[in-house]
Every structure is written in structure tokens, then in C-alpha cells.
Amino acid sequence: MVYIDKVHYEQDRYGNEYIAKLKWTNDLYSAATKECTKRDMINFINEHPNVTKTKYYRYGNWTVGEDVRVVDNSYLRTDANNIKSDNLGSLPRY
């Protein structure tokens, strides 16, 4: 399993935020130390569906979050709609 626990946003020339990079790990019980671009994660999820989730550190414990999926081969989302924008819940930013 791949767990994403932090995201880095940037702004396009119109001021819209998008995910540029993510921090991830294979270990549910420790903070992510590996980093990749959004494109790298999209490619990974397309090749390995249903193995990527978010995770959150709350009340002193790591908790599994939602499944991460790709929309329109360009966006990462945790919810079930097909809105063409990034949405990985309330993951912390870095």
C-alpha cells in the first residue's frame, strides 16, 4: 500500500492552486519521507490501481484515509465525483 500524508501546492498563472508534489510512504505508522511529482503519482496509480490512500496523524496515531484516484489523467482526488481539479482532502501542506 502507498500512503500519501502531505501535499505541496503551487499556483498557475491564473492564481488557481494545484498539487505539484506529494510526500508518501509504504508504512502506515510513520511520516512520509519520499517525495514525487503529481505526474509521477498519477502514472503510478494508473499502473497500480487501488493501492494508494491518504493517511492522517490525529490524536497521536496514524489513521488510514481515503482511496486516491485519478480523474482525466491529470488530477488526484479522494472523493467520488469527476470534478477536474485536485482534491486530497485535508492533508497537511508542506
Q: pLDDT at position 70, please?
A: 96
What pTM, to 2 d.p., does this model score?
0.93
Q: Which amino acid is at 78?
A: T
In DSSP terms, 36 is beta-bridged to 22
- Helix, strand and coil content of the chain, in percent to the nearest 5, comes to 10, 50, 40
Grid cell locating 87: 482534491
Of 10, 5, 3, nearest in space to 90 by CA: 5
Grid cell locating 85: 481539479
Q: Is the pLDDT of residue 89 over 90?
A: no
pLDDT in tens, 23-81: 999 999 999 999 999 999 999 999 999 999 999 999 999 999 999 999 999 999 998 88
